[in-house]
Structure 1
């Protein structure tokens, strides 16, 4: 990677990955894009431009102008938010991703796509979920992830394009609040612990989901994109994770630092249903 374009740079991953890439490859070599200006390091620490990823021509023109050799495609609508407007979610997560993939192909750029544990469903083995297994997701977000996993594989086979991807678990970060995902509670709980000394969880006790600390996720992206392609067993959708836990375990760890911390539950049926359809551990 020498000249990198990041889409969705204002999202939970993008606000941290963009500065991380600039620190490695040089600020002038990482162009951040989003649909609106993102105050702070993303827009002020290096090249930044506005982009709707569904506009394939504008995207391709941008890649050519910047001389990009790599696209890190992070733009998308998250799981719980997507269920509120499935058609818009599909439009951005699939149609936008297709436009981005084709623009990268036209310009000879490598393409990174972030898949998710949402690509699995209730019929997937829930514990120690294998890399290759049945994928029948029950959310529009998950269906979109499977679609793009397959399309990225297709572009590699059909066109010899350098496509790569990871299946991210829930990501824990303090730099930015998450934006409508099912695993968001694992970030919100820390904010509320500091602000209020308490938290009301929308995920039920005993619900295990895979998680990863954001710096580990950023490192995984760079390691995958820098890996020798001849040694990649899979091109896309590598399972990665760091830990699996449920809400009471986080609460117990917080009480070690804040003994008076309390937690109760107001379970959101939508997000709880999504969580129960995902694996307990990869």
Structure 2
């Protein structure tokens, strides 16, 4: 990677990935774009307003900046997608098809995130294999499976260097989530600091795989820098870091904040989605093919999350 374009840079992953990549490859070599103006992303590097559904505009940015690697991070997430499945398909697949076509025409590598949402209730629940039945019951998951297949198609038919990761639920102390089923695992930390209590929309006993943002950012770079000769799988790799229930994460917080309490107001849509997803993923292929190793577990992440949120609460101008 030498000249990088991030499409959807204003989202949960993109806002932090932009800064991370600029720290590695240089600020001028990472072009951030989003459908809305984002002054923060333009403060230390190039930023352009870009509609990912306009292929001509995407191609223009790639040509002008001599891009060789595209990160397509555009997505409507699981819970939001279920409220408007037509829009979810239009946005998720439209942005991907434009990214694939531009990557083909301009000889770019392309990264597109997939998700544990690509699996469904008929997939094995524990240590879900890299290669297994994938019959998701959400439009978000259907989009992700379609995206994986399109990535493989463009690689095999046109030679596009497509790569992808099936991310677990992503937890960040910088950017709030945007309508996913795993959002509770971020919100719970903020409420633990803010009010000392949290009302959870996901049942107490539902396991889901999660990952801390520093591991996400590192995984993106490691996969895109991996020797292509080693990649038997491309679209998309399971990666795993930690798996827990709401009860488990609440207990971990309670070790640090003994007065913390949690009750439940179950969202039936989120419950249905959560119970259809894997409890844990088998990431053997990622470990063998490009050296993936998680660095964060639940205990270490909890310490870091609470410290970061407390710091911003004490210094709100930095929030």
- State the TM-score, normalized to the length of structure 1: 0.99
Q: Determine the structure 1 residue equivalent to 2:66.
A: 67
Aligned-partner Cα distance in 2 for 1:241–1:235: 16
SS in 2 for 1:88: helix
- Offset at residue 94 of structure 1 (A): 0.6
Tell me how large the CA RMSD over aligned residues is: 0.7
Aligned-partner Cα distance in 2 for 1:219–1:208: 24
SS in 2 for 1:5: strand
- Offset at residue 57 of structure 1 (A): 0.9
Aligned-partner Cα distance in 2 for 1:160–1:75: 23
Aligned-partner Cα distance in 2 for 1:183–1:114: 16
The reply to whether residue 165 of structure 1 matches residue 164 of structure 2 is yes
The reply to whether residue 104 of structure 1 matches residue 103 of structure 2 is yes
Aligned-partner Cα distance in 1 for 2:106–2:203: 46
The structure richer in helix per residue is 2
Q: Determine the structure 2 residue equivalent to 1:148.
A: 147
Aligned-partner Cα distance in 2 for 1:145–1:45: 32
Structure 2 residue ranges without an equivalent (≥5): 282-319
Aligned-partner Cα distance in 2 for 1:213–1:149: 23
Structure 1 residue ranges without an equivalent (≥5): none
Paired residues for 1:73-88 under 5 Å: 73-88=72-87
Q: Determine the structure 2 residue equivalent to 1:137.
A: 136
Task: Write out per-residue CA displacement over residues 126-151 of structure 1, whole angstroms, 9 at most, x where no aligned residue.
Answer: 00100000000000000000001000
Aligned-partner Cα distance in 2 for 1:74–1:273: 25
The reply to whether residue 274 of structure 1 matches residue 273 of structure 2 is yes
SS in 2 for 1:71: strand
2:67–2:108: 8 Å Cα contact kept in structure 1?
yes
The reply to whether residue 31 of structure 1 matches residue 57 of structure 2 is no
- Offset at residue 26 of structure 1 (A): 0.1
Aligned-partner Cα distance in 2 for 1:62–1:39: 18
- Offset at residue 12 of structure 1 (A): 0.6
- Offset at residue 39 of structure 1 (A): 3.6
Aligned-partner Cα distance in 2 for 1:45–1:195: 31
1:186–1:247: 8 Å Cα contact kept in structure 2?
yes
Q: Determine the structure 1 residue equivalent to 2:4.
A: 4
- Offset at residue 272 of structure 1 (A): 0.7
- State the TM-score, normalized to the length of structure 2: 0.87
The reply to whether residue 117 of structure 1 matches residue 98 of structure 2 is no
2:205–2:245: 8 Å Cα contact kept in structure 1?
yes
The reply to whether residue 92 of structure 1 matches residue 91 of structure 2 is yes
Aligned-partner Cα distance in 1 for 2:249–2:39: 31
The structure whose RCO (Cα within 8 Å, separation 6+) is larger is 1
Aligned-partner Cα distance in 2 for 1:238–1:79: 19
- Offset at residue 249 of structure 1 (A): 0.8
User: Is 31-40 or 243-252 further displaced after alignment?
Assistant: 31-40
Aligned-partner Cα distance in 1 for 2:125–2:44: 42
Task: Write out per-residue CA displacement over residues 183-237 of structure 1, whole angstroms, 9 at most, x where no aligned residue.
Answer: 0000000011111110000000100000001000110000000000011110111
Aligned-partner Cα distance in 1 for 2:160–2:99: 13
SS in 2 for 1:10: coil
SS in 1 for 2:32: strand
SS in 2 for 1:13: helix
1:110–1:161: 8 Å Cα contact kept in structure 2?
yes
1:54–1:100: 8 Å Cα contact kept in structure 2?
no
Q: Determine the structure 2 residue equivalent to 1:198.
A: 197
| Structure 1 residue ranges, 4+ long, deviating more than 3 angstroms after superposition | none
State the number of aligned residues: 281
